[in-house]
Amino acid sequence: MKKIWLLILFVSVLFSCSDSDRSNKNPYIPSYSVNLSVDMNLPSYSNLKYVSNAVIVPNYGAKGIIIFNAGSGYNAFDAACPNQEINSCAAMTIDGINAVCSCDKTSYSLFTGLGGKEYPLKQYKVQVTGTVIHVYN
């Protein structure tokens, strides 16, 4: 009987595990293939070596990719406003530890991707090897 309960517990834990923390489905931002590597030794990205710094890398994803040093690791988000149609004003700007939508001035945390609207920032996977940050989906 004890083995059955252990088996049930083990199977429950396996099914409760998830590949990502939250759903990345957003009707406003198309799913573009992203495969980006940046070297923090380059001057454009050297600020990423320090906690709470972010950079926007243009020409990836819908409106560019925001890479943020969260201290415990790096976060990468699409720079498109998550609650607006893709248009000329839908690019985000960086304001300290937040990304701000140029359309509606909604602020999103670069630590969590959450803001005050329905959809959070579209997040990408990040892998760090030495001084190279690899962003992908």
pLDDT tens, residue by residue, 71-96: 999 999 999 999 988 886 768 999 99
Residue 104: CB atoms within 10 Å: 14
Q: What integer pLDDT is reported at residue 20 of this predicted model?
A: 45
Stretches in the chain below the pLDDT threshold 70: 1-23, 88, 90
pTM: 0.81
Domain locations in the chain as residue ranges? 27-136
- Burial of 107 per CB tally in 10 Å (0-12, 13-18, 19+): middle
Task: Please give the pLDDT value at position 10.
Answer: 52
Quick one: which H or E segment has residue 17? none
User: Taking the domain 27-136, which CATH number applies?
Assistant: 2.102.10.10
Q: Which long-range contacts (CB under 8 A, 24 or more apart) does 40-47 make?
A: 40/131, 40/132, 40/133, 41/131, 45/133
